Amino acid sequence: MRNLGPVFTVEWSPDGTMLVAGGVSNKVVALDTRGNILWERELYGTIYDISWSPDGGMIAVVGENFDRVVVLDPQGNLLWETKLGEYLYPIDKVSWSPDGKWLAVAESSFQLFLLNSEGNLLWKRSISFEFNRAILDFTWSPDSSMLAVSTTLWAFSTLMVFDPNGTIIWKHELDEYTISSPIWSPDGSMLAIITSSGKVLFFSRNGDLLWSYEEPNPKKSIGMVAAWSPDGSMLATSGKRIYGNFYSLPMVMAFSINGTKLTKMWEHVLDNIHMSARDIEWSPNGSMIAVGTYPQVIIYNSSNGKVLWRHDLQGEVMQVAWSPDGSMLAAGSISGIVALYNATEEIKVTRSTLLDQLTLNPYIQKLTSSDDRLLVSVILLAILLLLLLLLARRSQSKKRGQTQATKGG
């Protein structure tokens, strides 16, 4: 069985008939809804991000060792590629504007580019001040009029908003070393980010800080991943439940949004310290929330937090993506697996290592695998044996001391 290595990105075509995936194999691979490979195309290096144009006619691809953005057609043929100039760091983010007019591209260190749909480079901005700033992520407003960019520099971060001409409309500086990806509300009226201290900040389109939210319980905090519900009434985020000074467990939380009030609806604590959420995505109708963790895909009922089903992908799940009609869910894992699920409460999965397809029988995966439970049992047994050994040695030492005391007497 051939495995093409870690999968970093999976993206549905706008009509939901095709899924493209990419990762360490340097290849973009297209799959149909049954997991069959339609085509594959090798590019310049590790594939970090893929973006479909809204009309489904173009696929933009960027990655490591790229000095350009590559655009393919739905059959995998090269439409155009535009060199972005000399660079020092990977190009790791690409996104079409919702109206399909613009293509934004980011180099991970500090350069931001904007191209038109014909591949012409319109402008380049260096997001740097005294030193280079790392671009964490960016996102288009729903009306394509604004591009929000989150950056970080040492112990400081900045949220910047550009117009399509490359002009900074507004920016907000934070005394925190990192912030999450900026996320627009579905109607484009608000922009939210999460700070490294676990605060959620809400800004107006004009850059005014409307309000903020912070977990009132000191033993809980909000993580760095969040997503708006399709109707804008809820926010799903990652989080942590903190136990003492050195131990915490990841959580998934959902909040309702009413004006300037954020109210927690539910939370679900995961019992594996490594299972923090890598990606969170709402189903198109808002009834389910998909979460990619290590090593599982978990689906929640969005209204009450009930776990509908889960599936183990044998490695960190880098991205989850709902099909446009919400009938299927795709997931890409660092183990090299692309999984396609029927998005119902009855779990059904077609699993692919990009070149080998395998249909799995429906089942419900328990919170921890049998291997995890075996490992925990072995560790506990070893600790018990060590304690018994120490007690035995202590008892022997005590007996020797009593014997010597008797002889001395």
* SS3 category, 373: helix
Selection from 137, 131, 129, 130 nearest residue 112 by Cα: 137
Query: 98 and 135 share a domain?
Result: yes
Q: Is residue 211 domain-shared with residue 240, that is, in the same domain? A: yes
Same domain, 305 and 407: no
User: How far is Cα 116 from Cα 118, in angstroms, rounded to an integer?
Assistant: 5
Kindly state whether residues 254 and 396 are assigned to the same domain: no
- pLDDT value of residue 360: 30
Q: Which amino acid is at 362?
A: P
- Would you state the pLDDT for residue 403? 56
- Domain assignment present for residue 235? The answer is yes
Same domain, 302 and 378: no
DSSP string for residues in 288-343: EEEEE-SSEEEEEETTT--EEEEEE-SS-EEEEEE-TTSSEEEEEETTS-EEEEE-
87/165 same-domain check: yes
User: Is residue 2 domain-resident?
Assistant: no
pLDDT tens, residue by residue, 27-65? 999 999 888 889 999 999 999 999 999 999 999 999 988
CA distances (Å), 305 to each of 147, 236, 268, 288, 349, in order? 32, 10, 7, 9, 22
Q: Is there a contact between 284 and 304 (Cβ–Cβ < 8 Å)?
A: no
Strand 328-333 vs strand 111-116: parallel, antiparallel, or unpaired? unpaired
In sequence order, the 6+-apart residues with CB closer than 8 A to the CB of 66 are 43, 44, 45, 90, 91
* Model confidence pLDDT, tens digit, residues 83-139: 997 766 788 899 999 999 999 999 877 889 999 999 999 999 887 654 456 777 899
Question: Domain ends where: 370, 385, 400?
Answer: 370
pLDDT(367) > 50: no
Q: Are 221 and 129 in the same domain?
A: yes
The arithmetic mean of pLDDT across residues 154-177, rounded, is 88
In degrees to the nearest 10, what's the CA dihedral of 203, 124, 8, 364?
Answer: 20
CA distance 317 to 370: 19
Task: Say which residue, 383 or 228, is predicted with more confidence.
Answer: 228
pLDDT at residue 93, as a whole number:
93
In this model, does residue 366 exceed pLDDT 80? no
Domain identity same for 353 and 378: no
In this structure, is residue 1 part of a structural domain? no
Quote the tokens at residue 241: 């439940």
Residue 348 pLDDT more than 60?
A: no
Tokens (6 digits) for 276: 């923090």
Domain of residue 380 covers: 371-409
Indicate which CATH number applies to the domain containing 39. Answer: 2.130.10.10
Tokens read off for 298: 């978990």
Cα 32–chain centre separation: 23
Separation of alpha carbons 147 and 13, rounded Å: 22
**Rounded to two decimals, what is the model's pTM?**
0.81
Give 375's pLDDT tier (boundaries 50, 70, 90). low
| CB neighbours of residue 317 within 10 Å | 30
Tokens of 273: 């310290």
Top-confidence residue, 256 or 393:
256
Amino acid at 315: G
Using one digit for the tens of pLDDT, what is the confidence trace for 190-232?
999 988 888 899 999 999 999 888 888 888 888 888 999 999 9
Ramachandran region, residue 355 (left: φ > 0; alpha: ψ -120 to 50; beta: rest): alpha
* Residue 96: both structure tokens together: 């079409």
What's the total number of domains in the chain? 2
Is-contact 326 320, C-beta < 8 A?
no
Which residues make beta-bridge pairs with 256? 234, 263
Both 290 and 399 in a single domain? no
Say if residue 396 is in the same domain as residue 325.
Answer: no
The identity of residue 386, as a single letter, is: L
* DSSP character string of 210-266: EEEE--SSTTEEEEEEEEE-TTSSEEEEEEEEEETTTEEEEEEEEEEEETTEEEEEE
Q: Name the most confidently modeled range: 319-328, 348-357, 393-402.
A: 319-328
Residue 395 lies in a domain: yes
Please tell me the predicted confidence (pLDDT) of residue 1.
29
With vertex at residue 26, the alpha carbon angle to CA 23 and CA 29, rounded to the nearest 5 degrees, is 70
Q: Check pLDDT > 90 for residue 163.
A: yes
Which whole number is the average pLDDT over 264-276? 85
Note whether residue 60 is domain-resident: yes
Confidence band, pLDDT 50/70/90 cuts, at residue 247: confident
d(CA 19, CA 338): 10
The mean of the pLDDT values for the chain is 83
Q: Answer yes or no: do 240 and 300 share one domain.
A: yes
Residue 408 belongs to a domain: yes
